[in-house]
A and B are shown apart, each in its own frame.
Chain A
Amino acid sequence: MLELHIAGRSFARPVLGEISTTVEPGNRICLLGPSGIGKTTLLNAIAGLDPEVPDSAIMGRRQVRVGYLFQEHRLLPWRSLRANLELVGVSAREADECLARVGLAGYGGYLPDQLSLGMARRAALARCLAIKPELLLLDEPFASLDPVMAGDLKRLIEGILDANPAMAMICVTHDGGDAATLANRLWYLDGKPARLQWDSLIEEPDQIVRLLASLRHTGQAG
């Protein structure tokens, strides 16, 4: 569904090197790598938010509906959850259904700032779902949540992916455990400038842990 041919991306210094890969329907990709290596930069480029990365570098994006779960909820704080969902083009009834799917039934009239961090992130996830995305981009979805909330959200996302087998996902994380539960494909970003050091499907969860250990080791050695 997507063909990436990113020539590189620099802010003051080169951040991303050449990146060529594809994303297929049903791919559940976890994008791992050291902090500050450019994972969010790559995600923004894929989402079409980076004016320096031309459209031709992300072939097929215009035909794909993209739902992006940002690190912050990025709901409009002056609009209720229902109104926030309606803004992406669904009816009030569909908005309430989407909120119910993420466990926020009855919260449609609340303002985003009245919710806890975990609830606000689920509300933002409901907005992703509202557009019936073919590609789900998640930027550290479990960061700064307590283990219980993070676990709930992980199961929620897993359930959504299982219910929509054709949906592709790219999830930025630096926790190998997230990858073990969610991913069927792994991207490992590292180097200066950063390239995909590893890009392949994974068959069994154990493989990820071993793989990460060896990748991190090479990263430090290099």
Chain B
Amino acid sequence: MTIRGGASKQGRPPLWSYWIVLPSVLALWALMSWLIRSPLLPSPSDVLGTLVREASSGDLWFHLSATLRRVIVAFVLAMLLGVLIGLAMGRSIAINALFDPLLVLLLNLPALVTIILMYVWFGLVESAAIMAVVINKVPSVAVTIREGARSLDFRLEDMATVYCFSGWQRFREVWVPQLFPYLMAATRGGLALIWKIVLVVELLGRSSGVGFQLQLAFQIFDVATILAYSLAFIAVVQLIELVILQPLERRSNRWRKPEQPHA
């Protein structure tokens, strides 16, 4: 239950600790590019310049939003399916036995194979692209949620049975809070994995999105554009983490440390 428990007990780390490693990497990068002076390793300011240029021409927003849209659609579908399958497999031994071999197979199926097959069978269309991403992500969500469903407290199950909880009450009030750490793990892993797969999908068969831009830049070895687009999307994912995931997590974990303000 206490996935973050150990860290949170010791309180917050000092603020400066966040500002050591990344700036050092940035400085190292600047130094290297200054020493090498090659277009294959552009300096941080070159990359920033490219980013500003792409942003002011509107290209950045167009491709960023295309990728973000695919990530969101694929993420929502993969989470819904993965949670349903994971819950079913975690709660029923029979369902687990039936589908476990298929799950192992899908877990080990390379993303590239799914993408190629979807494009070959369904053509270079948007739905094939989304489907390929979803198929890649569902198994890992299901595996995580299955672990959570197996660890549900039987004592609270009995309590819910005695007090005649409805199916929805049981799901919302008893299961979701217990599954929350697993849902968060699946979400974090999911976002990171999905946006990387979306790039491959775009590179192989779409004419918009960050992946498509990367392919164009690759053809002319335009490293500055490659880095500019990658960093832009990493910033988007970081924003999602800060604005949505962390507040959600703080809100949902309040009950774990009840001595604090809640009292």
Contacts and interface: CB of A to CB of B under 8 A. Distances in A.
Contacts of A211: none
A131 B156 CA distance: 17
B255 A111 contact: yes
With most chain B CB atoms within 10 A of its CB, the pick from A47, A72, A77, A127 is A77
B255 A87 contact: no
B262 interface: yes
A115 to B, nearest CB: 10
B76 interface: no
B162 A87 contact: no
B151 to A, nearest CB: 15
Interface residues of B, number: 18
Contacts of A72: 155
Given A76-B156, A78-B177, A66 B255 contact: no
Contacts of B105: none
Contacts of B162: 47-49, 66, 68
B263 interface: yes
Interface residues of A, number: 22
A41 interface: no
Given A74-B155, A74-B159, A127-B163, A111 B173 contact: no
Given A87-B165, A131-B163, A76 B174 contact: yes
A117 to B, nearest CB: 15
Contacts of A113: 255, 258
B201 to A, nearest CB: 38
B3 to A, nearest CB: 15
A127 B161 CA distance: 14
Interface string B135-175: 00000000000000000000110110111110001000110
A202 interface: no
B220 to A, nearest CB: 55
Interface in A85-113: 87-89, 110-111, 113
Contacts of A47: 158, 162
A79 to B, nearest CB: 7
B181 to A, nearest CB: 12
Contacts of B263: 110, 114
Contacts of A88: 163-164
A89 B173 CA distance: 14
Nearest to A75: B159
With most chain B CB atoms within 10 A of its CB, the pick from A74, A77, A78, A113 is A78
B163 A49 contact: no
Interface in A32-67: 44, 47-49, 66
A74 B156 contact: yes
Contact of A114 (B159, B173, B177, B259): B259
A102 to B, nearest CB: 17
With most chain B CB atoms within 10 A of its CB, the pick from A72, A76, A131 is A76
10 contacts: A47-B158, A49-B158, A74-B158, A76-B174, A76-B177, A79-B255, A87-B165, A111-B255, A113-B258, A114-B258
Interface of B: 155-156, 158-159, 161-165, 169, 173-174, 177, 255, 258-259, 262-263
Given A79-B255, A88-B164, 14 more contacts: A44-B158, A48-B161, A49-B162, A70-B155, A70-B158, A74-B158, A76-B173, A76-B177, A87-B165, A111-B258, A111-B262, A114-B259, A127-B163, A131-B163
**10 A-B pairs with least C-beta separation:** A78-B255, A74-B159, A111-B258, A78-B177, A68-B162, A88-B163, A114-B258, A49-B158, A113-B258, A74-B155
